[in-house]
């Protein structure tokens, strides 16, 4: 019999706030974190809006920001979210076997931080050839070697291992927008297999920099409605025209049920289902028939041993692009049949923007909060219905709804898909018998 995996803590840093309570309040109030770009001068770019993390730094969790100033923004987000998660789970006081504590993150590119490295090297160059040689000598002596290593995608997971003495499995998933959802799913499997008792799982990312913004713009997936500001991101609306890039991070503490109960931990919910597929269609486009996304949902249902009618809420990937929203709507219809038309579905990206590799982690946390609270956050800016997107997207206002099982969808660029199911914890019941076809 497989081990059950529960959530015992969580933390996050997003454009709506620097902790779970702030973010949940912002979501249920329908607030937007989208505004003008301030992290760099975007005045000459066609895209001048983003969902930035504002008025937050590591001092909010008791860390010295100066000690982390040379690290990428995503590292600060990961550390801040992880410290919150560990504290909320009571792990600081727990007697943990470090070999049974692991980290699995979904973090991505950090191109913006190469600008800082370039400034260091160019400053040395401006001071003449001897200063250049001294800088090179220092790099070779490894005095500055960590400056380059900090840009590696696995560095946040590596650093969290050091902060929390996590000597168990340590991995980073890089699968575009699915990265952190897949990291949570694979961390769940790690605990189920008995390779760890506790995993810090989630992700962090920031691509709000000239390379990131211009790159996504060249792919024609960003909204150019700069003057619309908070109303620019409008998932499933007929007049949607692309997403607004965001940033942030979220970390969940995943734990085997036995381990959590043994130490008397508060259980927030249970990770009951995980599915992963690939469209194998095109590098840039989702399969228009939603084959991969449909199968992914079905696999998550099968893994949770749930019938489609037992899902009470779907947190959609909902990127506000023409193709993605249409394909995801089709996938939900194909996976749930007639039940699809009765399912409350919302895209919280409408308020936080698209957090790229970190989006799956924060949206899994949102799904968990729906299960805990019985409140479904809205899809804001939904004004005009689209005949190809004709489901219940919880438009503009939070809805009270008892929720036993929630599905979080992630549909990544290039055809990668992941689906996670979080459930209200009931120690008397485990997974039942599946009647879902895969």
173 is annotated as an active-site residue: no
Mean pLDDT computed over 170-198:
97
CA distance 192 to 177: 25
pLDDT tens, residue by residue, 353-365 = 999 999 999 999 9
CA distance 360 to 171: 16
Q: Which fold has domain 5-110+151-423?
A: Peroxisomal Thiolase; Chain A, domain 1 (3.40.47)
Burial 264-280 (b: 16+ CB within 10 A, else e): ebebbbbbbbbbbbbbe
307 is annotated as an active-site residue: no
What pLDDT, on a 0 to 100 scale, did the predictor assign at position 133? Answer: 53
Could you tell me how far CA 179 lies from the centroid of its own chain?
8
The one catalytic residue in 177, 389, 403, 436 is: 177
317 is annotated as an active-site residue: yes
CA distance 365 to 7: 10
CA distance 421 to 238: 28
CA distance 370 to 190: 25
The one catalytic residue in 144, 225, 259, 317 is: 317
* Residue 160 contacts residue 103 (beta carbons within 8 Å): yes
Mean pLDDT computed over 269-284:
93
The one catalytic residue in 71, 144, 209, 354 is: 354
The residues pairing with 65 across neighbouring beta strands, listed in sequence order, are none
CA distance 193 to 100: 12
Q: How confident is the model at residue 117 (pLDDT cuts 50, 70, 90)?
A: very low
Q: How confident is the model at residue 150 (pLDDT cuts 50, 70, 90)?
A: low
Look at residue 372 and tell me whether its pLDDT is greater than 70: yes
Q: Where are the alpha helices (DSSP H) in 337-401?
A: 349-352, 359-373
What pLDDT, on a 0 to 100 scale, did the predictor assign at position 75? Answer: 96
pLDDT tens, residue by residue, 326-353 = 999 999 999 999 999 999 999 999 999 9
Distance between first and last Cα of the chain: 21
Q: How confident is the model at residue 414 (pLDDT cuts 50, 70, 90)?
A: confident
Look at residue 242 and tell me whether its pLDDT is greater than 90: yes
Task: Compute CA distances 166 → 87, 90, 158, 267, 302, whole Å.
Answer: 15, 15, 9, 21, 32
For residue 278, the surrounding DSSP H or E stretch is strand 269-278
CA distance 67 to 71: 9
What pLDDT, on a 0 to 100 scale, did the predictor assign at position 335? Answer: 98
Q: How confident is the model at residue 211 (pLDDT cuts 50, 70, 90)?
A: confident
CA distance 111 to 128: 27
CA distance 249 to 12: 6
């Amino acid at each position: 019999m497989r081990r059950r995996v529960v959530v015992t803590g969580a933390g996050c840093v997003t454009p709506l706030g620097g902790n779970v309570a702030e973010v949940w309040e912002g979501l249920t109030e329908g607030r937007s974190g989208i505004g003008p770009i301030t992290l760099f001068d975007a005045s000459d770019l066609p895209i001048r809006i983003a969902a930035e993390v504002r008025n937050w730094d590591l001092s909010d969790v008791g860390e010295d920001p100066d000690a982390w100033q040379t690290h990428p923004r995503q590292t600060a987000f990961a550390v801040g979210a992880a410290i919150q998660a560990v504290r909320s789970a009571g792990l600081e006081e727990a007697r943990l076997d470090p070999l049974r504590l692991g980290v699995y993150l979904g973090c991505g590119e950090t191109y913006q931080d190469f600008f800082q490295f370039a400034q260091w090297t160019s400053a040395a160059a401006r001071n003449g050839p001897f200063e250049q040689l001294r800088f090179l000598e220092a790099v070779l002596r490894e005095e500055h070697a960590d400056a380059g290593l900090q840009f590696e995608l696995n560095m946040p997971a590596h650093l969290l291992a050091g902060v929390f003495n996590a000597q168990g499995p340590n991995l980073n998933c890089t699968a575009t927008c699915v990265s952190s959802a897949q990291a949570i799913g694979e961390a769940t499997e790690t605990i189920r297999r008995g390779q760890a008792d506790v995993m810090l799982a989630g992700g962090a990312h920031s691509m709000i920099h000239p390379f990131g913004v211009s790159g996504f713009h060249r792919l024609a997936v960003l909204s150019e409605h700069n003057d619309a500001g908070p109303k620019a991101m409008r998932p499933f609306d007929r007049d949607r025209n692309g997403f607004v890039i965001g940033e942030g991070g979220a970390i969940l503490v995943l734990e085997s049920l036995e381990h959590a109960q043994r130490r008397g931990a508060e259980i927030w919910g249970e990770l009951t289902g995980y599915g992963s597929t690939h469209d194998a269609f095109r590098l840039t486009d989702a399969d228009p028939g939603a084959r991969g996304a449909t199968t992914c949902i079905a696999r998550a249902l099968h893994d949770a041993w749930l019938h489609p009618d037992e899902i009470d809420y779907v947190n959609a990937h909902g990127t506000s692009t023409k193709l993605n929203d249409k394909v995801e709507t089709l996938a939900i219809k194909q996976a749930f049949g007639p039940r699809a038309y009765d399912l409350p579905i919302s895209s919280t990206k409408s308020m936080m923007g698209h957090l790229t590799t970190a989006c799956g982690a924060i949206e899994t946390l949102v799904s968990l909060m729906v299960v805990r609270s019985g409140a479904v956050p809205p899809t804001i800016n939904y004004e005009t219905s689209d005949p190809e997107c004709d489901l219940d997207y919880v438009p503009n206002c939070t809805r009270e709804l008892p929720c036993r099982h929630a599905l979080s969808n992630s549909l990544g660029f290039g055809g990668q898909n992941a689906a996670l199911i979080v459930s209200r914890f009931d120690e008397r019941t485990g997974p039942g018998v599946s009647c879902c076809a895969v």
